Structure 1
């Protein structure tokens, strides 16, 4: 082997080592970057007339397990869906009250019924009359509070959908830009690993919003689709729009709300359009039954702020209150409304209305109102419990898959540091070859001269 050939091989080795060192440095710097896939330099040996003549460093590539990456993204989308649902329902839990702790609807209704039972023993007792009114007000205010919590949760879900759509549009635009850059670099034979890592991070964000999956294209670009088959635009020509409460999502002139069924956007839509309105409807029905049940006994104890019992339940839970007439005249809990019709003589010992309330199938302990109150609380508690269980399971699966993906595609610091030492030794060896070659050239020139 000539001195020139040896020098050429050593120089190519130095260049290849420098390229590998740059990749190692990139990997170590991103060791803690979520979703980052390790990169590796490609090396190709060269030869001339059957003899080795050096090595050429090619574009860096990702060491990514595409199948595992797809599983992680799917798990992230499901985790985001379940977490969004659980957090929303958990907020209502805190207002709904805990059965048996005295602050839930069943307990408050039981307190009111106990108040009437005590009043029956002494109908003329003004303190007990006021106590009944106070118990009724506490129950009405709790219904208002639960309705407000559901309304706030619905608004939060709608706002979350709108924010999610904004984030989705931004991420899709960035994916489109990276697609174009990756195609261009691929055509030039340059490395696209860094850009693909950036794109992978964006795809995971999009998956958390929509549960979308990516499909690789021969050009190096990717296409994105929601689980329902809606293609997500990355070209920037159109963008999703979200408006209203509950939200309506459009793409151009097309309504596409129903295509978002996963991720945080899908969860927000389900909460705002189905889950929370269902809870509100149950609460409204209970409020309507409460007001009409008492009114049927001769006492309009619960009403809207104007003193009327509405014929429809919709929205009633948010405004239900103790009848202003009863608040002004607590003795009406004994005499009924109007008092002139049920207790025209003003008998202080009148028990007709109280007895009717305590014996009514609707208002008596264990009757339909008690069942309805229990059902409202139990239904919400079941939804929240199931959502929390699903959220915990989804988080565990997502963490397990992420860790598994990291072990196969992520950066191993130990491995990279070991490679770094090997490269440093190789660099020193090649540099020594270059030094010796230079010395040999110098000695040869000295001999000639």
Structure 2
């Protein structure tokens, strides 16, 4: 082998090692980058006249397990869907109170009942009358707080949708640009590995937002499809939009309805069904509370101007309060302010001004009827309203509206806790799945630092050997030149 051939081989080796070092360095730098697939520099030997003449460097490629990668994206979509629901409901849990600690609706309702029971022993006691009014204020205050939290949660879901759509449209445009670059480089037989890794990260973002799935095309580009089979636009010509009204959110692409999973799907579920259902349950309890007390002879719980709603009033829970007339005259919790009729058809009017200070008829009616299961007239209490209208139409609450006020309050509280607990369990389960799948993906497609560091040492030694060969060749040429001179 001539000196020139040896020098050419060593020079091609140095060039190939430079390419490998660049790939290894990039792999190490991205070892902790989610979704990054390890890259490999592809080398082959060159021959001339049947003899080795150096090394040929081919475009770097990726080591990708597409099946696991798809599973990871699917699980991330599920995780994002459940996470936005669970996070929202956890905030509602905090204001709902904790059973047994006196700050939940059943406990606060029981405090009002206890106040009337105490007042029964001394109806003229002003302190005890005010205690009843105070307990009633605390109950309505808690109802208002829950309603306010639900409203804030709805607004937060709407904000999430707005921000997610901006991110979605931007990321789709990025993928479209990466598609074009990848196709162009592939046609030039150049490496697309770096751009493909960037695109995979963007695809994972889309999966997290929408649950969309990626399909690789024959030219190396990818297409994205939603859970209902609609192709997402990658050129920015038809941005994805949302139409959001009270308790209703819908998505569309150029006017075509589209269904999403991921975080956008979770936010839609909150706005279209989960939050309206909880709100409807709270309104239903508020209406039953107001009407049952009025039916016992005392309009204690009303809207701000003292009216008792006759049907389920949407948003009643946000405004329900203690009747201003009762606040001005606490003695009404003894006397009453509504005429009712007993089982025999006899009207029972309120205790008139100057009436007996020890009047107990109204208090008995409240304890036996408002807190009980039968009306003053002896019939069964009408059940609390359990049908509400959401984005899909009229739906029934998943619990009974019959029974006492305490039962209704308990059913409402338990239902919210059940929804929240189920969402939290789902987040935990899906989170474990994501962790397991990412670990599996990392073991097959991810960067193994030990392997990369070992390869780095090998390349450094090979570089030194090739550099030594070049040095020796140079020395030989210098010796030849010296002999010629």
Q: Report the TM range for the smaller structure's normalisation.
A: over 0.9
Distance in 1 of aligned mates of 2:359 and 2:482: 132
1:294–1:300 contact (8 Å) kept in structure 2 = yes
Is the counterpart of residue 430 in structure 1 residue 432 in structure 2? no
Is the counterpart of residue 342 in structure 1 residue 341 in structure 2? no
SS of match in other structure, 1:169:
helix
More helix by share: 1
Distance in 1 of aligned mates of 2:302 and 2:161: 35
SS of match in other structure, 1:56:
strand
Corresponding residue for residue 95 of structure 2 = 95
Distance in 1 of aligned mates of 2:290 and 2:478: 108
Map of 1:260-339 to 2, 5 A cutoff?
Answer: 260=260, 262-313=261-312, 314-338=314-338
2:296–2:370 contact (8 Å) kept in structure 1 = no
1:185-240 residue CA offsets vs partner (Å, 9 max, x unmatched): 11011111111111111111111111122111111111111222222111221111
Corresponding residue for residue 209 of structure 1 = 209
Is the counterpart of residue 356 in structure 1 residue 365 in structure 2? yes
1:358–1:364 contact (8 Å) kept in structure 2 = no
Distance in 2 of aligned mates of 1:405 and 1:249: 32
TM-score by length of 1: 0.96
SS of match in other structure, 1:43:
strand
Distance in 1 of aligned mates of 2:153 and 2:406: 26
SS of match in other structure, 2:463:
helix
In the alignment, structure 2 segments of 5+ residues that lack a partner are 340-347, 375-401
1:253 CA displacement: 2.4
In the alignment, structure 1 segments of 5+ residues that lack a partner are none
Distance in 2 of aligned mates of 1:80 and 1:40: 32
2:291–2:310 contact (8 Å) kept in structure 1 = no
1:130–1:330 contact (8 Å) kept in structure 2 = yes
1:361 CA displacement: 6.7
Q: Structure 1 residues 143-152 or 238-247, which shifts more?
A: 238-247
1:294–1:363 contact (8 Å) kept in structure 2 = no
1:185–1:192 contact (8 Å) kept in structure 2 = yes
Is the counterpart of residue 251 in structure 1 residue 258 in structure 2? no
Distance in 2 of aligned mates of 1:417 and 1:367: 71
1:14 CA displacement: 1.2
Corresponding residue for residue 192 of structure 1 = 192
RMSD: 1.8
Distance in 2 of aligned mates of 1:91 and 1:333: 35
Distance in 2 of aligned mates of 1:23 and 1:108: 66
SS of match in other structure, 1:231:
coil
Map of 1:137-156 to 2, 5 A cutoff?
Answer: 137-156=137-156
Q: Structure 1 residues 32-41 or 80-89, which shifts more?
A: 32-41
Map of 1:86-235 to 2, 5 A cutoff?
Answer: 86-235=86-235
1:259-280 residue CA offsets vs partner (Å, 9 max, x unmatched): 11x2111000000110000000
TM-score by length of 2: 0.89
1:445 CA displacement: 3.9
Q: How many residues align?
A: 446
Q: Structure 1 residues 428-437 or 189-198, which shifts more?
A: 428-437
1:448 CA displacement: 4.5
Distance in 1 of aligned mates of 2:349 and 2:469: 115
1:83 CA displacement: 1.1
Shift in CA distance, 283/134, structure 1 to aligned 2, threshold 3 Å: same
1:103 CA displacement: 0.7
Distance in 2 of aligned mates of 1:190 and 1:108: 71
Is the counterpart of residue 406 in structure 1 residue 442 in structure 2? yes
